[in-house]
Structure 1
Amino acid sequence: MSSATSEKVITQEQYLNAVFNYVLEHGFSLAVWRKPKSDQLEVIIDTNKDIKKLPLQLDKLPPGFVIHPFADQSDKKCYFLEAHTYLKIPLDGTIDEDGFFKKANKSATKESIDKLLRERSGKTGNQIDISSQTSFLNEVKEGIRLIKNGELIKVVPARNKYLQLKVPLNISGIILSLCSSYPNAFVNFIHSAHIGTWIGASPEILIKTEGSTFSTMALAGTQKAIGANPLKNAAWTQKEIEEQALVSRYIVNCFKKIRLREYEERGPKTVIAGNLLHLRSDFIVDMEATGFPQLGSVMLDLLHPTSAVCGMPRDKALEFISDHETFDRSLYAGFIGPVNIGNESSLYVNLRTARITDQYAILYAGAGVTEDSDPEKEWEETEMKCDIIGKFLTDPILN
């Protein structure tokens, strides 16, 4: 915040522009995030030219940011951005110039940053097949058929959607607008030459460890938030209630696998995420009382990919996804987040996300399919989920 001794105060957008320009000019990697209900942005800059891959042992990782794709890694490693520079940016008020800002190029504009960002984010080319409505509906119908035959309990088909980026992106303004619009989401922006450029606002935590406390959540069921008080207007169908219960049972079964019986379950309750509502249950464990200090790493291995983004049984659902999806999910439905910063690690499922390339933004969304699913409604659900990020990338007022 400003003080009498400061030479100059700047806005959050000016500071972020300096960060982005510094990182892009030098070919570095970075992660920017805002935790749910937080009043500050956090930034990590990794000055390595090549991104590291490290074992998923949370208690042994240095301070940094974990990035893991949807598909399991055979080497059981994650991409890792090391915190060579760590910055905090308050979202309220103005900011004093600091050492970092003074050494950065302060003349950068949104146009010059956008040009560098597109150049360093990779070409769209033919890397990603576009999901058609017909192919998605057929995939949902096949999933329903297999569920009715008893071969699956639930499956989560996904799709992608292209948005052409016609004007320069004001990426700093978009991030700040996401923070304002989605206070309960994990707003994030990631850039690395190896994995590309991603932006999102995820509603779902995968695991969190803070001191001796471990927590995770079961999030499923989707409907549009309607009216001045959407939480009071929510009415859940049996299909949505059962879908969320399946995710909760999946977490409990993971606890049973490691013979963990001492946990607290809260919910389910209705929560708001942007313009959507979901059902959520929270699970909390005291790692000190249970004598399980490695619970975060153990549960991470058991949970991912969760039934909320994959299905049940997991192996059968993964086989279905591999056989029917025509595109690579890449980081979508993987997990991302800061680790060992301030005695806390928070990893989120990478949902409500978009990849930015030289010409396009590629949006990703999935829908939980059960026996009672309606294919057309599942398509509509993915449209709503894509719009959560997509509308910010194409809003002429923001850009």
Structure 2
Amino acid sequence: MTTSLLHRADFVWGDPAHSFCLVDAEQISRDRPFRQQAEAARRRLAFRDDDAVIAGAAPFDPDSAGVLWVGTPRPFTVVRAAAANRSPKAGQVEQRWETRALTPEADFIASVGKALRQIQLGVLDKVVLSRAVEVVGQVDIDLDRLLGRLAEDSSALSFAFRDGDRRFMGASPEVLVSKRGSVVESGPLAGSAARRGDVRDDINAVQALLNSPKDLAEHAFVAEGISDRLRQAGKVAIDGPHLLETAFIWHLKSTVRADLDPSESRDSLAFAELLHPTAAVCGLPGETARQFIREVEARDRGFYTGYVGWQNKRGDGDWRIILRAANVYARSAILDVGAGVVRGSEPASEYAETALKLRPMLQALGASADI
């Protein structure tokens, strides 16, 4: 994949088993909420006589517009781009970064304190709070190199899409919906622990995570919430929680599988709309948590904690929750990161968790992880 192709691409999907891009695809108008965009995209796809797909991303707020395209996939291998762009090109100026918090530490910690008071009063069971960081470079960001570095993480799936004058790029470890025929699966992540530099310390961290009442309760909120929604479509089973290992963090992960009823006709995008937002990115009760987020978070999340993916004419497709991602401009990037607050959470620990979750994207950019 050449630099010029990445700059021209509307959408890039980095699944090693099914990687593709869309170039010069038909974009659905953004003058309507995402659900209406999805309906328009389905109608467009139905008229295509080739192997076209719907691809794009939904924002965190279901009432806002996302980005969707209908186009014919062009295959390529993202990993090959990673191998070719691991080091700066000959003669390229080394990037230097300035980093600043768009959400001050004190503001985030205060928001966690407010959430804990609402949990104590019984208003909330869980809420996910986010903060934002901006990194500014001295030279243009090498998009190919960034995508290549993101693709090197085997625990996550890399993606990129065009959003006006910027690119939204990331590598998500969390499956919102994967649909193949009469089977729908979701892979929620909730509950986490930092990786350690020492093997013994890592083992102790894993044991503590697997036996943590706080983390197990947080995970159960998410997995059971997804299971409850999918039961309307078929027989549901939960496998987990198990451990998901990433470079910097351990996650508790479950697989929620629904074997669909013969009468069930919804496609993968409809199931994504059904499940979003899960308690992994919003909270419980859902609408109460969403309103609390609106009140305490100074920034609109935009695509962060929305979902990204694709769907074919059969209605099969894959949709990932947008995590470990950034709005990428010519010489700057804005990163969002969050943590789930439940009974027993500690504000300073939740802030430290967000710092840990920033590290994959900061490392991919080559910026300092100390923020």
Deviation of 1:135 (Å): 0.6
Cα distance in structure 1, aligned partners of 2:298 and 2:247: 28
Alignment match of 2:171 (pick from 201, 212, 215): 201
Q: Choose 1 or 2 for highest CA Rg.
A: 1
Match of 1:45 in 2: 23
Q: Distance in 1 between matches of 2:238 and 2:253?
A: 11
By how many angstroms is 1:47 displaced?
4.3
Is 1:243–2:218 an aligned residue pair? Answer: yes
Q: Deviations over 1:311-368 (max 9, x none)?
A: 0001110110011110010000111112117974101110111111244211101100
| 3-state secondary structure, aligned to 2:110 | helix
Aligned match of 2:240: 267
Q: TM-score by structure 1 length?
A: 0.76
Deviation of 1:266 (Å) = 1.0
Say which of 160, 170, 189 aligns to 1:189.
Answer: 160
Q: Determine the structure 1 residue equivalent to 2:119.
A: 147
Cα distance in 2 between the residues matched to 1:324 and 1:93: 40
2:12 pairs with 1:32:
yes
Question: Is 1:81 the counterpart of 2:63 in the alignment?
Answer: no
Alignment deviations for residues 153-195 of structure 1 (CA, whole Å, 9 cap, x no partner): 1011111011112233222122122212x1121111112327x
Matched residue, 1:137? 109
Letter of the 2:279 partner, please give it: S
1:170 corresponds to which letter in structure 2? Answer: D
Q: Does 1:20 align with 2:6?
A: yes
Which residue identity does 2:61 align to in structure 1?
A: A
Structure 1 distance, partners of 2:180, 2:57, is 19
What are the residue-to-residue correspondences of 1:1-399 with 2, within 5 Å? 15-21=1-7, 23=8, 30-35=10-15, 38=16, 41-48=19-26, 55-56=37-38, 62=45, 63-73=53-63, 78-84=66-72, 86-89=74-77, 91=79, 130-180=102-152, 182-193=153-164, 196-226=166-196, 227=198, 230=202, 234=206, 235-236=208-209, 237-256=212-231, 258=232, 260=233, 262-287=235-260, 289-294=261-266, 296-340=268-312, 344-394=316-366
Question: Aligned partners of 1:93, 1:313: CA distance in 2, in Å?
Answer: 42
Query: Residues 319 and 395 (structure 1 numbering): CA distance in 2 closer, same or farther, change over 3 Å?
Result: closer
Identity %: 23
SS of residue in 2 equivalent to 1:141? helix
Superposed CA offset, 1:252-303 (max 9, x none): 22134x2x4512221110112331111111111223x543131634432331
Distance 1:261 1:80 in 2: 28
Equivalent-residue separation in structure 2 for 1:129 and 1:395 (angstroms)? 13
The one-letter code of the counterpart of 1:348 is: R
Residues in 1 aligned to 2:78 and 2:308: alpha-carbon distance in whole angstroms: 22
Instruction: Give the drift of 1:220.
Output: 0.4
Cα deviations by residue, 1:197-239 (Å, 9 ceiling, x for unpaired): 1111111111111233211122101111224595785121211
Instruction: Pick closer, same or farther for the CA change 1:304–1:193 going to 2, 3 Å.
Output: same
One-letter amino acid of the structure 1 residue matched with residue 250 of structure 2: L
Deviation at 1:132, TM superposition (A): 0.7
Measured against aligned partners, the alpha-carbon deviations of 1:133-164 in whole angstroms (never above 9, x if no partner) come to 01100000000000001111101111101111
Matched residue of 1:150: which SS?
A: coil
- For 1:281 and 1:40, how far apart are their aligned partners in 2? 23
Check 1:341–1:294 CA distance in 2 against 1; reply closer, same or farther (3 A cut): closer
State whether residues 20 and 73 of structure 2, in contact with CA within 8 Å, keep that contact through their aligned partners in structure 1. Answer: no
Distance (Å, rounded) in 2 between the aligned partners of 1:290 and 1:48: 33
Partners of 2:329 and 2:81 in 1: CA distance: 33
What are structure 1's unaligned runs of at least 5 residues? 1-14, 24-28, 96-107, 115-127
The letter for the 1-side match of 2:187 is: M
Secondary structure of the corresponding residue to residue 349 of structure 2 = helix
Q: State how far apart, in whole Å, the 2-side matches of 1:341 and 1:375 are.
A: 46
| 2: CA distance, partners of 1:59 / 1:274 | 38
Indicate the larger mover: 232-241 or 320-329: 232-241
What residue ranges of structure 2 are gaps of 5+ in the alignment? 46-52, 84-88
The CA RMSD over aligned residues, in Å, is 3.2
